[in-house]
Amino acid sequence: MIKIKVECSAITHVGLVRSTNEDNYYINGKHRSSDTVPAEGYSDNKLRDTYLYAVCDGMGGERYGELASLIAVKVLTKYQLTDIRQTIMDYIRRANRYICEEIGKFEGVKSGTTLAMLYLFENKAISFNVGDSRVYLSRKGDLYLLSEDHTEAQRLIDMGKISEEEAATHRSKHKLTQHLGISPEVIRIDPYISQEITLKRNDTLMICSDGLTDMVSDDDIGDILAQRDWNVTEMAKELAATAQDRGGKDNTTVIVIRIF
């Protein structure tokens, strides 16, 4: 088995407008440890056979979104030693069921969470997502979006009714068509699964919530991830800080991974 050496860092920030952080992150079994600090960072550079990362963006307010994203990452710990390519649907069904059960205890409350996940194995990577949290690859100065948004705006793009430029400001850009926390009787959750990518030295991958992409353009994200003299912690901090400098309207969570 080929082992790949990676450098990884995450930061999550409550932002400048919201009072609670409903985001969570997952790095090889570790998730957000405190809901009382405005910003929290974590790094993991341990050599492993496989690596599993995720960002979950909870929704619902009054800490219900925070509960949904926390359940999603806690359930994911049970799958850390599995080949997530084979167990992804089992994970989604289990996490979705637990979220629905917990939120169902609060009468009349609707909640849920997005999921953006990245799995590294041998010398390859594959991403999975439900909702509008994203996964990117930066390679030799070029930025590639590996995930696909589950939003009404993206559906209109796919139908040819609006352009990607129009979608950026469209009223339905945040209207999710899929997320974890939907009753199986209402919809079958169908994650977007990227193609497997053969990794190259100095590839940089990023997973983020829309608190970043709403505030920072893909061009600016690409410029930050292309900084070869920065380490991943500096990149993650700069991405989060840029989101705050431009308004910080939502919670922002970023995981940056560089391949060695």
**Which range of residues forms the domain containing residue 233?**
7-145+177-259
Residue 170: per-residue pLDDT: 83
Residue 232 resides in a domain: yes
Residue 138 resides in a domain: yes
Residue 224 resides in a domain: yes
Dist. CA 177–CA 180, nearest whole Å: 11
Dist. CA 109–CA 111, nearest whole Å: 7
Strands (E), the chain: 6-13, 23-27, 30-31, 39-43, 50-59, 112-113, 115-121, 124-130, 134-139, 142-145, 192-193, 197-198, 204-208, 252-259
Residue 11 resides in a domain: yes
pLDDT per residue of the chain (260 residues) written in tens, 0 to 9:
678 899 999 999 999 999 999 999 999 999 997 777 788 999 999 999 999 999 999 998 767 999 999 999 999 999 999 999 999 999 999 999 999 999 989 887 889 999 999 999 999 999 999 999 999 999 999 999 999 999 988 888 888 888 887 878 888 888 999 999 999 888 899 999 999 999 999 999 999 999 999 999 999 999 999 999 999 999 999 999 999 999 999 999 999 999 98
Residue 63: per-residue pLDDT: 79
Residue 98 resides in a domain: yes
Residue 155 resides in a domain: no
**pTM value?**
0.95
Dist. CA 208–CA 86, nearest whole Å: 24
Domains in the chain, number: 1
Residue 158 resides in a domain: no
Residue 62: per-residue pLDDT: 64
CATH number at 76 reads 3.60.40.10
Residue 152 resides in a domain: no
